Structure 1
Amino acid sequence: MLYFTVWLGHIAAVAAQFDFTHTQYETSPPVYPSPYTTGAGGWDQALDMARDFVGQLTLEEKAGMVTGRDRFVAGGQATDLVC
């Protein structure tokens, strides 16, 4: 009986995922290109620190931050194969 209850709970959890709709971003339209960051709202110091930090990075380090990879590859995910 316990096995059946646990199994039924898992099935219900999986089924609930398919009924869930994400409405978080439906309230405002996208804006392209993104507006320039000004640091409004008390974020001036943090924004200056972030700009200084990013200004010290190399191109490879910047690419690694946005891609999540530490090597350059010509397409695909070949870095997963490199040990």
Structure 2
Amino acid sequence: MSDATFACPDLTKFCRLDELGLAVTGQRLRPDRAVLACRVVEPDQWCRRCGREGVPRDTVTRELAHEPLGWRPTTLVVTVRRYRCTACGHRG
């Protein structure tokens, strides 16, 4: 491979999280497992009831199981922003 070109390493693509709409923001490797901190790439701030745009109210984290990286079980810690609708008051 005399003319091989390499791109910067991208853990998001390597773990196929881009297909889920997530981006990796950090990692913690332990001897027994791997933990990936993630965020949602495209926020969804639209109200499910009336369809209007909401305002950010807080964030929560969700822990999800993911396919193992090598032999280590992998957990995703996803930070999700939550919104409140300015029109109908619905919290999502």
Shorter-chain TM-score range: under 0.3
Give the TM-score normalised by structure 2.
Answer: 0.18
Larger Rg: 1
Give the TM-score normalised by structure 1.
Answer: 0.20
Q: Tell which has more relative contact order, 1 or 2 (C-alpha 8 A, sep 6+).
A: 2
Task: From the two aligned structures, give the one with the greater helix fraction.
Answer: 1
